[in-house]
């Protein structure tokens, strides 16, 4: 009969946090295996030492390298793969001889642990069982005396080996977080917390529950003194003590920030907007736009109808007066047919004179649609909305005529809706009075979304039935060209413009 393999979690470092089952198995095993760096000292063995007995076979699984370079033909990963294969073969020899093998693992065996490499290589041939252990994340929260998460809060566990910008994005979009694998990654991890606007909320925990335990605010830690066995913790915002100097606690001075989400998903957000959203207490906007944002237990969302812009602005300013950091969201750019105008207009009233209001730009829908076909807005252009809800059609028609006669490319927002079905046809007729029938037209629908479509046509062939409330139109100038190419069609407006012909030149011709 073959022996049995056990992956035994030892907890974060204190031998008294080893579970009763783990202690029993360690004492009963024929073979005890543990990992170490090339210095030969094993933290796992030191934790398990009180439970070892005489006569046990010990297998030291010494890593061939940690951070060093290697001349292995497969590089670092190739060297480690060979190492794990050799270790598995050594343990398999004991198991084939009928010996029970316990592989010691700091923390939990299947949580960033080395044991999992043995598990994957041996579990298909031998009986294997994993004994869970207390993780370093739980230990860090315990020694800090700060809850990790509560109710609907989201806890995210991240490796510090991720690039700083990726880490920062994850930190912005979660309530609580633990970042593992520090040591040489610490400088990048600290940078990521700073980029995310959450450095002041984060804590550093080193060798939790051991005699060498150390805790400190993350911002105060010297990068040269950080070992691998440490982590950065962003505790539960709901349970942050009011005495701590954190951005969550110090919201005495309210403010309103109007931000642009871009035309579609999170990849269109700017880092500045991400940071503002992450730091907000209240998020306000048109319902579908607010729904695009991640749910955070400490934040309040206030979605509303798209026809109550002034009321929404006043609500935001009233919340700010009470000390809330309010973010008002818009699609695209907040200053283009969006909430920045409504908020600044209401904020200009005397009763809101002391409320700080700022605007953060976003990618516009016109820019997004233009980017899909090339550069149709490469020269002078204007931006118009066909919505007659806030201005009469006569004004819209006059502006369309003026833009067309001035030979400007035109970006048309809100071309149609369920209740407005005739304006696109009327716009086409007005523009044909000044533009050639072959003028390129781009119809962009749901750009960046799951139902994105781009149609390139001409002014003469523009079909109003193709245009709905999710579309944006780009009408070219007399210089705009649509070029069919093997690699894909391009639409562009050159930056050059023909010089006007003088009367003398006309006579010469």
Q: What is the pLDDT of residues 91-124, one digit of tens each?
A: 999 999 999 999 999 999 999 989 999 999 999 9
Among 308, 341, 360, residue at a domain's last position? 360
- The answer as to whether 500 is a domain residue is no
Helices (H), 377-453: 393-405, 423-432
User: Which of these, 484, 396, 383, lies nearest to 440 by C-alpha position?
Assistant: 484
Q: How confident is the model at residue 240 (pLDDT cuts 50, 70, 90)?
A: low
- The answer as to whether 248 is a domain residue is no
Q: Minimum mean pLDDT among 17-31, 189-203, 232-246, 358-372: which range? A: 232-246
Q: How confident is the model at residue 278 (pLDDT cuts 50, 70, 90)?
A: confident
Say which CATH number the domain at 399 has: 3.30.950.10
- The answer as to whether 502 is a domain residue is no
- The answer as to whether 483 is a domain residue is yes
Among 114, 134, 154, residue at a domain's last position? 134
| pLDDT at residue 419, as a whole number | 76
Q: How confident is the model at residue 251 (pLDDT cuts 50, 70, 90)?
A: very low
- The answer as to whether 152 is a domain residue is yes
| pLDDT at residue 124, as a whole number | 94
Model confidence over 465-475: pLDDT tens digits?
999 888 999 99
In this structure, the answer to whether residues 126 and 10 fall within a common structural domain is yes
Query: For residue 383, is pLDDT > 60?
Result: yes
Compute CA distances 125 → 4, 31, 34, 130, whole Å.
10, 18, 21, 15
Model confidence over 100-109: pLDDT tens digits?
999 999 999 9
DSSP string, 317-337: HHHHHTT-EEEEEESB-TTSS
Compute CA distances 63 → 57, 106, 244, 248, 259, whole Å.
19, 16, 42, 43, 50
| pLDDT at residue 228, as a whole number | 86
d(CA 471, CA 415): 7
- Reading the block at residue 152, the tokens are 């609907």
Q: Mean pLDDT over residues 211-224, rounded?
A: 90
| pLDDT at residue 248, as a whole number | 32
Neighbouring CB atoms inside 10 A of 222's CB total 8
Neighbouring CB atoms inside 10 A of 500's CB total 6
Supply the range of the domain harboring residue 396.
370-492
Query: For residue 506, is pLDDT > 80?
Result: no
- Reading the block at residue 369, the tokens are 């649609």
In this structure, the answer to whether residues 198 and 305 fall within a common structural domain is no
d(CA 356, CA 317): 9
In this structure, the answer to whether residues 62 and 183 fall within a common structural domain is no
In this structure, the answer to whether residues 228 and 295 fall within a common structural domain is no
Q: Mean pLDDT over residues 308-323, rounded?
A: 92
Q: Mean pLDDT over residues 488-500, rounded?
A: 88
- The answer as to whether 432 is a domain residue is yes
| pLDDT at residue 480, as a whole number | 96
d(CA 273, CA 240): 24
- Decide: 212 and 229 in contact? Cβ < 8 Å: no
Burial class of residue 418, CB neighbours in 10 A (0-12, 13-18, 19+): exposed
Query: For residue 342, is pLDDT > 70?
Result: yes
Tokens 């029993």 identify what position?
24
Query: For residue 72, is pLDDT > 50?
Result: yes
- The answer as to whether 263 is a domain residue is yes
Describe the strand order of the beta sheet including 481-483 as a list of residue ranges. 374-375, 490-492, 481-483
| pLDDT at residue 499, as a whole number | 73
| pLDDT at residue 401, as a whole number | 95
| pLDDT at residue 327, as a whole number | 96
In this structure, the answer to whether residues 262 and 345 fall within a common structural domain is yes
Between 394 and 242, name the one with better pLDDT: 394
In this structure, the answer to whether residues 332 and 422 fall within a common structural domain is no
- The domain total for the chain is 4
Q: Mean pLDDT over residues 356-378, rounded?
A: 95
- Reading the block at residue 75, the tokens are 């590089």
- Decide: 18 and 49 in contact? Cβ < 8 Å: no
| pLDDT at residue 247, as a whole number | 36
| pLDDT at residue 359, as a whole number | 96
Tokens 């009969």 identify what position?
1
| pLDDT at residue 297, as a whole number | 67
């Amino acid at each position: 009969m073959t022996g049995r393999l056990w992956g035994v979690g030892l907890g974060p470092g204190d031998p008294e946090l080893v579970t009763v089952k783990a202690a029993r198995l360690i004492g009963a095993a024929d073979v005890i295996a543990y990992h170490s760096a090339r210095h030969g000292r094993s933290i796992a063995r030191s934790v398990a030492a009180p439970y070892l007995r005489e006569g046990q076979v010990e297998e030291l699984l010494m890593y061939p390298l940690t951070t060093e370079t290697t001349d292995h033909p497969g590089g670092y990963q190739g060297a480690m793969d060979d190492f794990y294969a050799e270790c598995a073969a050594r343990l398999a020899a004991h198991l084939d001889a009928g010996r029970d093998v316990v592989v010691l693992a700091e923390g939990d065996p299947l949580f960033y642990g080395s044991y999992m490499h043995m598990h994957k290589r041996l579990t298909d041939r031998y009986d294997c069982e994993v004994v869970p252990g207390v993780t370093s994340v739980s230990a860090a929260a315990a020694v800090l005396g700060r809850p990790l998460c509560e109710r609907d809060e989201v806890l995210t566990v991240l490796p510090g080996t991720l690039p700083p910008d990726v880490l920062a994005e994850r930190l912005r979009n979660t309530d609580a977080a633990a970042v593992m694998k520090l040591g040489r990654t610490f400088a990048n991890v600290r940078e990521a917390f700073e980029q995310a606007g959450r450095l002041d909320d984060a804590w550093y925990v080193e060798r939790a529950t051991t005699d060498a335990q150390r805790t400190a605010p993350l911002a105060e830690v010297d990068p040269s003194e950080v070992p691998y066995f440490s982590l950065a913790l962003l505790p539960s915002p709901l349970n942050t003590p009011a005495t701590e100097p954190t951005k969550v606690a110090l919201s005495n001075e309210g403010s309103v920030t109007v931000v642009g989400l871009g035309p579609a998903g999170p990849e269109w957000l700017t880092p500045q907007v991400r940071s503002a959203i992450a730091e907000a207490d209240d998020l306000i906007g048109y319902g579908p736009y607010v729904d695009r944002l991640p749910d955070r237990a400490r934040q309040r969302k206030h979605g509303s109808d798209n026809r109550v812009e002034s009321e929404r602005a006043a609500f935001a300013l009233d919340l700010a007066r009470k000390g809330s950091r309010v973010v008002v969201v818009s699609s695209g750019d907040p200053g283009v047919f969006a909430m920045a105008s409504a908020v600044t207009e209401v904020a200009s009233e005397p009763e809101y004179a002391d409320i700080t209001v700022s605007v953060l730009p976003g990618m516009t829908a016109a820019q997004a649609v233009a980017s899909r076909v090339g550069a149709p807005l490469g020269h002078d252009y204007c931006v118009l909305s066909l919505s007659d809800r806030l201005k009469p059609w006569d004004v819209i028609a006059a502006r369309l005529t003026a833009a067309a006669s001035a030979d400007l490319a035109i970006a048309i927002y809100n071309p149609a809706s369920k209740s407005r079905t005739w304006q696109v046809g009327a716009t086409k007729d007005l523009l044909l009075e000044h533009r050639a029938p072959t003028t390129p037209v781009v119809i962009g629908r749901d750009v960046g979304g799951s139902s994105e479509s781009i149609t390139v046509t001409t002014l003469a062939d523009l079909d109003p039935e193709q245009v709905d409330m999710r579309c944006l139109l780009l009408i070219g100038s007399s210089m705009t060209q649509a070029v069919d190419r093997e690699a894909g069609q391009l639409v562009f407006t050159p930056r050059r413009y023909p010089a006007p012909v003088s009367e003398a030149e006309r006579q010469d011709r």
